[in-house]
Amino acid sequence: MNSSVRQYALVTGNYWAFTLTDGALRMLVVLYFHQLGYSPLQVASLFLFYEFFGVVTNLFGGYLGARIGLNRTMNIGLGLQIIALLLLAVPTHFLSVPLVMGAQALSGIAKDLNKMSAKSAIKGLVSADQHTQLFKWVALLTGSKNALKGIGFFLGGALLALVGFTTSVLIMAGVLSVCWCVSMLWLKQDLGKAKAKPKFGDVFSKSHSVNLLSAARFFLFGARDIWFVVALPVFLSSQLSWDFWRVGGFLAAWVIGYGVVQSLAPQITGKSSGKIPDGRSALWWAILLAVITALIALGMSSQLNMTAALMTGLCVFGIVFAINSSLHSYLIVSYAKEDGASLDIGFYYMANAGGRLVGTLLSGWVYQQFGFAACLWTSAGFIAIAAFLSLGLSPTQVVNRHESR
C-alpha cells in the first residue's frame, strides 16, 4: 500500500468513525426530546447552534487547515466531538436546553472540521491531471460516509430503545476516543498545509465558479433539510404512529441507499465512457430533482395511499439527490486551487452549513405551521433556485486551478 492510499484510508476511517456518532447523536436528540414533549420547532432549535457554528467553522476552518495542516484540524474535530458527547452524559435532570445547545455547538464545529479536513485532504493525495481518480475517491468518501450516517441513524434509535440516552452517548464517546488516538499517531503531520501562508482575507473565495457552486449548494442542502431533519421523523412518529425502531430504521435505510448511490455516481454519470461531469451536469440533475420533489408534494395531497406515495417518492428523491450531491462534491474539489485547497473547500462547505441551518429552522417552523406537504413544496422551490444558479457554472470539466482568489 503506497503512502497516498494509506493516508486516504486513515482519513476515510476517521470520517467514518465520526459520521457514525454524528448520525446516531442527531437521531438520539430528535427522538428523545420529541418523546419528552418538545414541539417540532423546539426540537429544531436544539440544532440551531450545531448548524450556525458549522457555518462559522467552514468559513475559518479552511484557513486554519491551510496554516496548521489538515491532520490537526481533523484531530481537533474528533476531540471536540468526544467532549460534546461527554457533556450530554450528565444525569437526566441536568440535561437542560442550554446544555444541549452548547454540546450541539461543539458537535457542529467538530463535524465541519472533520468533513472539511477529509475532503480537502483528497486534493493533495491525487495528481492534478487524474480527474477520474479524483471523482472516484471523492464519490467513495462521500458515499461511504452517508451510508454510515444512515447506520448511525438506526444506531441512535436502537440505542435509545435499548440502553437509554445517557449510556448511548457514553458508548459513542468511548469508541471515538480509540479512533482519535489512532489518528493522532498515524496521520501525516503536514497534510494539506499550504506552501504560502494564506492571509485572513483569503477565507472569502474570489473564484466565480466556486462562489456560484457554493450558492447552489446552499439551496440544494437547505432543500433536503427542510423536510428531512425534523419534519420527517416527527411526521412518521406522530402522524403514522411509527415507533423508534421503525423511524430509525427507515431513515437509516434511506441514508444508506443514498450513500451507495453517491459511491456509484461516477458510473451513473458516465465514467465508464470516459465522461467527467461539469457545470451543465449539475444543472440538469438539479432540474430533475426539483420536478421529483414537486411530484412527491402532489402525491401527499392526492387521494393516493399517502404512506406508499411518500415512501416511494422519498426513495426516488434519495437516488437523484445523491447524484446531485456527488457531482457537487467532485466539482468543488476540482474547482479548488492546488495550494491551500481547504480555503475554497471550506468556503463551499460554509455555504452548505448555511443551507442546513436555514433548512433545519424551516423544517420545524413550516411543518408546525403548515404540515409536511408544505415542507416538500418549499424544498422544491429551493432546488429550483439551485438549478437557476447552476446555469452560470463552467460548462468545461475543470476551471483554471490557479484562478485568482
Which tens digits make up the pLDDT trace of 230-262?
Answer: 889 888 888 888 887 788 788 878 888 887 887
CA distances from 305 to 3, 253, 299, 314 (A): 54, 21, 9, 14
Tell me which H or E stretch contains 59: helix 48-68
- All three cell numbers of 66, joined, read 491551510
- All three cell numbers of 12, joined, read 476515510
Tell me the backbone φ, ψ of residue 338, rounded to 5 degrees: -65, -55
Q: Where are the domains of the chain?
A: 3-390
- All three cell numbers of 352, joined, read 452548505
Closest CA to 271 of 137, 148, 143: 137
- All three cell numbers of 230, joined, read 425534523
Closest CA to 294 of 199, 231, 375: 375
**CB half-sphere exposure, 278, CA atoms < 13 A:** 12
Amino acid at 282: A
Q: Provide CB contacts within 8 A for 245, sequence distance 6+.
A: 157, 158, 161
CA 369 centroid distance within chain: 26
Q: Is pLDDT above 50 for 360?
A: yes
Closest CA to 138 of 122, 162, 126, 159: 122
**CB-CB contact of 383 with 320 (8 Å):** no
pLDDT grade, residue 60 (50/70/90)?
Answer: confident
Q: What is the pLDDT of residues 176-185, one digit of tens each?
A: 999 888 888 8
Fill in the DSSP letter of residue 205: -
Q: Which of 236-240, 266-270, 383-387 has the highest mean pLDDT?
A: 383-387
Class of the domain covering 3-390: mainly alpha
The C-alpha atoms of residue 122 and residue 141 are separated, in whole angstroms, by 9
- Over its C-alpha atoms, the chain yields an Rg (Å, rounded) of 20
Q: Is pLDDT above 70 for 135?
A: no
Closest CA to 149 of 45, 73, 78, 254: 254
pTM for the whole structure: 0.70
Q: Is pLDDT above 90 for 385?
A: yes
Q: Which residue has the higher pLDDT, 5 or 48?
A: 48
Percent of the chain with pLDDT over 90: 19
pLDDT grade, residue 396 (50/70/90)?
Answer: low
